[in-house]
């Protein structure tokens, strides 16, 4: 290794084009702010509520951050979003699958004292299971599939060969920066609920996020011959609309850090993954939970 190389811009998002689903609030908004501050070229925020997205974009930098209305459970809506983005760019470097909903409320399930009470808790709000799976799990594939050609174009602009290959290599005559070995990337935001046996939100949420985590790993395997990476971020408790009203101080046997994660914590993770510092990362799960899994029973 050449240890004399400069590292001044190692964690920079400079010139990247990024798409974020569920980007109007919470973790998605934190990503957008971090990437804009890291000198990304364009950040497209996708979500159902256009006014919320526009307010989010204006709160950061409307010259960089753009609002695009999109329902990630509707293939026609996703296609329309892709078409709108293609009017502004011919490629995408990073796609962040961040959209998510909590689903049916099972927070009180551990308070059940009888089988009847347990049955009632497990079976309530059954109609909310399907939209939870559609948003948290199936949308990972629907959105990723719709953006694959733009991610491939992101690789092409960096000189990487197109389509399936046996060796990751650049085309003959490429005159760009050979020291930048990044390839296009998909980042799927799941949750430590993917690994946690304890029910903290809902059974549907836990199952759907575990499914999304597995899909993120599967995409790394599936897309490796095409030069597109796939990584997963599994956050613990962070401020968001979903966690509004939750505790803000924790005992160390619940969250060793003692508090929810903050903007800097999530900004650091996403900048690591999209920058040169994360170029060699593929198929990984980046847990950011203040140590919560270290003191709670994990699934695997």
| pLDDT tens-digit series, residues 74-115 | 999 999 999 999 999 999 999 999 999 999 988 888 889 999
Please say if the pLDDT value at position 135 is more than 70: yes
The residue-averaged pLDDT of 167-176 equals 93
C-alpha dist (Å) from residue 14 to 37, 56, 158, 196: 9, 21, 14, 36
pLDDT of 226-281, one tens digit each?
999 999 999 998 876 666 556 778 888 888 888 888 999 999 999 999 999 999 99
pLDDT score at 287: 95
What token pair was written down for 114? 């009888």
Between 252 and 56, residue with greater pLDDT:
56
pLDDT score at 258: 85
129: exposed, middle or buried (C-beta count within 10 Å: 0-12, 13-18, 19+)? middle
Query: Other CB atoms closer than 10 Å to residue 203's CB: what's the count?
Result: 17
Angle, CA 267 vertex, CA 283 and CA 216 arms, to 5°? 20
Between 193 and 6, residue with greater pLDDT:
193
CA gap 289, 195 in Å, rounded: 12
CA gap 208, 48 in Å, rounded: 20
Q: Angle 26-37/50-60 helices, nearest 10 degrees?
A: 30
Q: Helix, strand or coil for residue 177?
A: coil
On average, the pLDDT of the chain sits at 93
Structural contact between residues 284 and 234, judged by C-beta atoms closer than 8 angstroms: no
Percent of the chain scored above 70 by pLDDT? Answer: 96
| pTM for the predicted model, two decimal places | 0.93
pLDDT score at 98: 97
What confidence tier does 202 reach under pLDDT thresholds 50, 70, 90?
A: confident
């Amino acid at each position: 290794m050449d240890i004399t190389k400069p590292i001044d811009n190692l964690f920079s998002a400079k010139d990247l084009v990024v798409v974020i689903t569920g980007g109007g609030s919470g973790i998605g908004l934190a990503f957008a702010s971090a990437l804009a501050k890291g000198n990304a070229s364009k950040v497209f925020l996708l979500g159902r509520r256009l006014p919320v997205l526009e307010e989010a974009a204006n709160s950061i930098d409307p010259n960089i951050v753009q609002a695009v209305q999109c329902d990630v459970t509707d293939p026609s809506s996703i296609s329309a979003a892709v078409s709108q983005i293609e009017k502004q760019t011919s490629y995408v470097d990073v796609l962040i699958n961040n959209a998510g909903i909590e689903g049916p409320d099972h927070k009180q399930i551990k308070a059940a004292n009888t089988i009847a009470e347990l049955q009632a808790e497990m079976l309530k709000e059954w109609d909310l299971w399907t939209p939870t799976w559609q948003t948290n799990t199936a949308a990972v594939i629907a959105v990723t599939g719709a953006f694959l050609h733009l991610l491939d174009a992101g690789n092409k602009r960096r000189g990487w060969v197109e389509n399936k290959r046996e060796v990751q290599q650049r085309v003959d005559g490429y005159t760009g920066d050979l020291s930048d070995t990044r390839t296009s990337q998909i980042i799927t935001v799941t949750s430590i609920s993917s690994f946690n046996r304890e029910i903290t939100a809902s059974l549907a949420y836990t199952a759907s996020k575990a499914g999304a985590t597995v899909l993120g790993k599967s995409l790394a395997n599936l897309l490796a011959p095409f030069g597109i990476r796939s990584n997963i971020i599994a956050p613990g408790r962070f401020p968001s609309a979903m966690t509004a009203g939750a505790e803000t101080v924790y005992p160390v046997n619940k969250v060793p850090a003692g508090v929810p994660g903050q903007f800097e914590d999530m900004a650091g993770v996403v900048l690591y993954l999209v920058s040169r510092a994360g170029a060699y990362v593929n198929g990984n799960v980046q847990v950011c939970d203040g140590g919560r899994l270290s003191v709670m029973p994990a699934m695997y």
